[in-house]
Structure 1
Amino acid sequence: MASTAPSTRVSLPTEWRDFFALTKPRVMTLVIFTAICGVLAAPGSLHPVLAFTAILAIAMGAGGSAALNHWWEADLDAGMKRTRNRPLPGGRMRREDARDFGIFLSAVSICLMGVAIGWLAAALLLAAIIYYAVIYTMWLKPRTPQNIVIGGGAGAFPPLIGWVAVTGEITAMPLLLFAIIFFWTPPHFWALALFVEADYAKVGIPMLPVVAGERATRRQIMAYTLVLAPVAIAPWVIGGAGWLYGSVAVVLSALFVVLALPVARRRRDGLTDKMLPEKRLFKFSIVYLFVLFAALVADRLAAYQGWLA
């Protein structure tokens, strides 16, 4: 929860790099990539300038909500080893500046999307910003160990918005793309939470490993992995993607299940750091999502060129 204490005292001059850091560039990479995939995989097309504008608006919206997350969680970040050097806990920026930057980016992104692309896409972008900055950051994260499950919807919006930017409508395919990221988020993030559990416990964030314990978390990782696999294959099943995507989805999802099995069955006791199954799963989960969405685009382009006919 945000502190009511006076603003963080700035001890170092703020640089453009600090504002850039507020947008969470690593997370932004995934946001931009999945949004681009949504645009490219959707039936129809956008003028390149409009396509770029849509992606820019999505990126700005994601960056704005990330900055608001930094503003709200500055005190929590100061207490965690992996976040204590961020601009606010590091004393390089005033909290008000982070808040204002986040609001500015968010507002501009919604207006840009609405005027240039359409107001349905803009409404979805607004929903994504509110979902992450308010529902997840301010409400769910400090209150429930299921924060990642429900909050996973925030990161699932980009391909949906990208698809709607092209087609102007919400259909089964973009909803499946949303669902893929939604069900991917718990095993991905809980795998990370298992080896940074001490940080969350230190600042009182009720992540599942802290509240329910390691064994329950590992079982939940397996459960969501088993749900993710058929959801990832579903675009092929319903005819929204061809065999190229389908074969990649089957292979990748099978590997995901294989890597999740030792996470569910084993404890960390006696394992070296490099052998930890949750670390392997976490790293693979990132590759999984990038390759899966790249396969969707490749499938679409191949079908367009008639290579899969």
Structure 2
Amino acid sequence: MASVAPATATVPLPADWRDFLALTKPRVIFLVVFTGLCGLLAAPVAMNPVLGFTAVLCIAMGAGAAGALNQWYESDIDALMKRTASRPIPAGRMDRQSALHFGVGLGAFSVLLIYLATNMLAAIILAVSILFYVLVYTVWLKRRTPQNIVIGGAAGAFPPVIGWVAATGQVSLLPILLFSLIFLWTPPHFWALALFMEADYAKAGVPMLPVVAGEKNTRIQIFLYTLPMVAVALLPVALHLAGLIYGLAAGLASLVFTILATRVAFRQSVAGDGMKPEKQLFGFSILYLFGVFAALAVDRLVLA
């Protein structure tokens, strides 16, 4: 007699387009696409609008592919964290194999398309960024070291370089500075999040800095990374690679960022405030990156 599966058996529900969109981490993609677009607009080359749109679309697809492969690999720990438990795989709306196929296919297509639309160097850097996020950050670093965000932050720093290279075909000093800015911005941004999400990370066994080294050390590290980040943000002005619009915006935004990071680092009591300074820094850090990159794009377009 054939056995009947119990009613409580877990069977993934049919995924729809919204689940595949969720795999790409659209909120993250928005910032990635914006920095990539600003890198393209800051380049000293007028790019064909259709090819420029295609390049930015490829950056978005590459980032989406990396996000899908990240969720494929981390579905076990996503199920343990409140912030990620509703994602398609842990929520049971999609099986892991579908996410894997989607991520690989989307990533391969994005690299091929940007090569055909722009140049080989842009395609190579896009491929490296996807592989770095998936293999170096997700597979190798995230579950092994509290430095996961520090090293893994390089993956999110590639988009402005890709945008610049798509337009120019080469790498120069300004996109390297933009890469460095995002690289140094990533630890304060994510450690501020980790401070008020520490319990989630601890439950999932992810060795984020607050879990491993404690809150006090994390607060100091946030401040210490903020200082070189601000210096790099102002370097384009000092090196005459950007003008007054960028200088004023970057200077003001960096001042606010430093004040918030100082409040997080050196405050004496955390009782009863619901981690308000940490949440303020995390929220402003997103606005900071948008503002600085937008100012650069406007500055370069005005100067042109």
Same fold (TM > 0.5): yes
Partners of 1:196 and 1:179 lie apart in 2 by 26
Which deviations, in whole Å up to 9, do the C-alpha atoms of 1:39-60 show, x marking residues without a partner? Answer: 1111011101100110111111
**Kept in 2: contact 1:9–1:94 (CA 8 A):** no
DSSP 3-state at the match of 1:231: helix
Q: Secondary structure at the match of 2:44?
A: coil
Q: Quick one: which amino acid aligns to residue 137 of structure 1?
A: T
Partner of 1:199: 200
Could you say what secondary structure the match of 1:82 adopts?
Answer: coil
> 2:56: which partner in 1?
55
Asked whether the equivalents of residues 33 and 159 of structure 2 are also in contact (C-alpha less than 8 Å), the reply is yes
- Cα 1:161–1:201, aligned 2, differ >3 Å: closer, same or farther? same
Aligned-pair distance for 1:12? 2.1
Aligned-residue offset at 1:67: 0.3
User: Which residue matches 1:303?
Assistant: 303
Match of 1:282 in 2: 282
Long gaps (5+) in structure 2: 1-8
Residues 117-168 of structure 1, C-alpha deviations (whole Å, 9 max, x = no match): 1010000001100110110000010111010010100110001100011111
Q: Counterparts of 2:268 and 2:145 in 1: how far apart (Å)?
A: 24
CA separation of 1:255/1:103 partners in 2, compared to 1, >3 Å: closer, same or farther?
same
1:268–1:276 contact (8 Å) kept in structure 2 = no
State how far apart, in whole Å, the 1-side matches of 2:300 and 2:16 are. Answer: 42
Tell me the residue number matched to 1:113.
Answer: 114
Q: Secondary structure of the residue that 2:272 maps to in structure 1?
A: coil
In the other structure, the counterpart of 1:87 is: 88
Structure 1 runs (4+) greater than 4 angstroms displaced? none
Match of 1:294 in 2: 294
**How many residues get paired?**
296
Following TM superposition, by how much is the alpha carbon of 1:262 offset from its aligned partner in structure 2, in angstroms?
A: 1.2
Shift of 1:101: 0.2
Return the offset for 1:271. 3.2
| Counterpart residue number, 2:164 | 163
- What is the DSSP-based 3-state SS (H/G/I as helix, E as strand, rest coil) of the residue aligned with 2:46? coil
Moved more, 236-245 or 208-217: 236-245
CA contact (8 A) 2:194 2:210 kept: yes
Taking only the aligned residue pairs, the percentage that are identical comes to: 58
Displacement of 1:9 after TM fit? Answer: 4.8
Give the match for residue 43 of structure 1.
Answer: 44
Q: So what's the TM-score if we normalise by structure 2?
A: 0.95
In 2: Cα distance, 1:268 partner to 1:127 partner: 43
SS, match of residue 158 in structure 2: helix
Q: SS of the residue aligned with 1:222?
A: helix
CA distance in 2, matches of 1:9, 1:63: 27
Q: Secondary structure at the match of 1:90?
A: coil
- Aligned 8 A contact 2:144 2:207 in 1: yes
Distance 1:183 1:283 in 2: 17
Tell me, in whole angstroms, the C-alpha distance in 1 between the residues paired with 2:242 and 2:110: 30
Aligned equivalents of 2:268, 2:160: Cα separation in 1? 35
C-alpha contact 1:10 1:93 (8 A) present in aligned 2: no
- Tell me if structure 1 keeps the 8 A contact 2:12–2:95: no
Secondary structure of the structure 2 residue equivalent to 1:79: coil
Amino acid in the other structure paired with 1:142: R
**What RMSD in Å do the two structures reach over aligned CA positions?**
1.2
**Alpha-carbon distance in 1 for matches of 2:272, 2:259:** 18
The one-letter amino acid paired with 1:282 is F
Instruction: Say if 1:82 and 1:191 are closer, same or farther in 2 by CA, change over 3 A.
Output: same
Partner amino acid for 1:172? L
Q: Which residue of 1 aligns with 2:249?
A: 248
